[in-house]
Amino acid sequence: MKLAQRLFVSQLFTMAVGLAILTISTSLIAPANFTDLMMHRGQSGRGMPGMQQGAMSQQMQTADEEIDRSFRLAVNQALLVAGIVVTCAAVVASWLTSQRIVRPVRALAEASKEIANGNYGRHIDAHSDDELGELTQSFNRMAQALAETEKMRRELLADVAHELKTPLASITGYMEGLQDNLVPPTPETFQLIHREASRLQRLVEDLQQLSRAEAGQVSLQPEVLDLSSLIRSVAERLRPQFVEKGLGLHIEDSPGSMTVLADRDRTEQVVVNVLGNALQYTPPGGQVAVRLTRDRQMMRVSIQDTGIGLAQDEIQHVFQRFYRVDKSRSRSSGGSGIGLTIARHFVEAQSGKIWAESPGPGQGSTFFFTLPIAQSFTKTSQ
């Protein structure tokens, strides 16, 4: 029952109780009081013989007035008793109703103070299906979302600190070795220091990209793109790395137009990140296949590899920042762990979707993403 209906019913209940009490009081108390009063008056005025006719008429008039006063007095007494009982019943009913309303509101107020102080684990039990129950459930969902956000914030700070620690420790170690003459100042040493500094710079740039993407501050300049040509261009750029690792890279197009409406730079970044992920997690001798197919009003790209594969629980987390399937890999060989997160934000910002599928560990995986076809987008926008 809704809150408004409950309040309405409680008022009707109070009125019904009042009418019932008033009816019972007037039907039971008033006649009894009236009878007692009449018997008392009759006994006091009886036994006066020898009255004249005029005196009898005056006595009857006086008796009528006494009856009227007795009736009014009896009714007033009944109404007084009924009013007291009705007032008590109304106070009890109003108190019970107000407590049912005030109790969850007070609990919400106390819980909101705890959340304001950083205690996001507060949960309130919902005991009703009315508006207050819905408000309580919404409050619990909000508290849970805040708790998850706070957890992600803490994990992000810990992950960033961990990611920055490794290259900084390497640079510091080499510099201390150079100062103490423990490491020879050879071109190879400076090359190693430069490599670690480049890793640090790439990580900072990735973090900047991720920060802008998660804040929704990604600037998009959509244009009509030939998705097949764009993917082939990126593949040719990365092919030397595939060849160096001994991986095969194949691209398959489906017949028909491959034009999409998308931002060129962001789409290239998506392809680079997903192909780079396949490159990192596919062992030498493996294969990576890129396929383009039309899926209704979207163009779908699938990147299938014969790599280490994904377990079902890993599929749910693979697009989270700093998540890596192979925990034994270092960041230099396994990437920063936020490439797929950036790709997800870029795809979703362009009205597309991105997801992963895998039959299981050691059986490879396939990453999909979609982008709107240019023709369909133009027709719907008109």
Q: What is the pLDDT of residues 274-331, one digit of tens each?
A: 998 899 889 999 999 999 998 888 999 999 999 988 888 888 888 877 666 654 444 4
Whether the pLDDT of residue 147 is over 70: the answer is yes
Cα–Cα distance, 265 to 166 (Å, whole number): 30
The torsion angles phi and psi of 309, rounded to 5 degrees, stand at 75, 180
pLDDT in tens, 351-362: 899 999 999 888
What mean pLDDT is predicted for residues 47-67? 59
pLDDT of residue 7: 65
pLDDT in tens, 193-241: 888 888 788 778 777 777 777 766 678 888 999 999 999 999 999 999 9
Average pLDDT, the chain: 78
What mean pLDDT is predicted for residues 155-163? 74
What mean pLDDT is predicted for residues 170-196? 85
pLDDT of residue 334: 46
Strand, helix or coil at 55?
Answer: helix
Q: Which is more confident, 121 or 330?
A: 121
Q: Which is more confident, 291 or 144?
A: 291
Binned at pLDDT 50, 70 and 90, residue 20 comes out as confident
pLDDT of residue 151: 79
Please count the other Cβ atoms lying within 10 Å of the Cβ belonging to residue 113: 11
Binned at pLDDT 50, 70 and 90, residue 25 comes out as low
pLDDT of residue 141: 86
Sort residue 329 into left (φ over 0), alpha (ψ -120 to 50) or beta: beta
Whether the pLDDT of residue 271 is over 60: the answer is yes
pLDDT of residue 55: 61
> Tokens representing 365?
């995986």
Binned at pLDDT 50, 70 and 90, residue 185 comes out as confident
End-to-end Cα spacing for the chain: 46
Q: Which is more confident, 14 or 320?
A: 320
Comparing 8-17, 21-30, 311-320, which segment has the lowest mean pLDDT?
A: 21-30
Comparing 27-31, 113-117, 137-141, which segment has the lowest mean pLDDT?
A: 27-31
What mean pLDDT is predicted for residues 49-76? 63
Which residues, 6+ apart, have CB-to-CB distance to 129 below 8 Å? 1
What class, spelled out in words, does domain 131-214 have in CATH? mainly alpha
The DSSP code for 359 is S
Whether the pLDDT of residue 161 is over 90: the answer is no
Please count the other Cβ atoms lying within 10 Å of the Cβ belonging to residue 290: 23
2 burial level (CB within 10 Å; 0-12, 13-18, 19+): middle
Cα–Cα distance, 70 to 62 (Å, whole number): 12
- Per domain, the residue ranges of the chain are 3-41+62-116, 131-214, 222-381
Whether the pLDDT of residue 375 is over 50: the answer is yes
Residue type, 353: K
Binned at pLDDT 50, 70 and 90, residue 379 comes out as very low
pLDDT of residue 129: 72
Q: Taking the domain 222-381, which CATH number applies?
A: 3.30.565.10
Cα–Cα distance, 342 to 319 (Å, whole number): 9
Binned at pLDDT 50, 70 and 90, residue 121 comes out as confident
Residue type, 299: M
Quote the percentage of the chain above a pLDDT of 90: 19
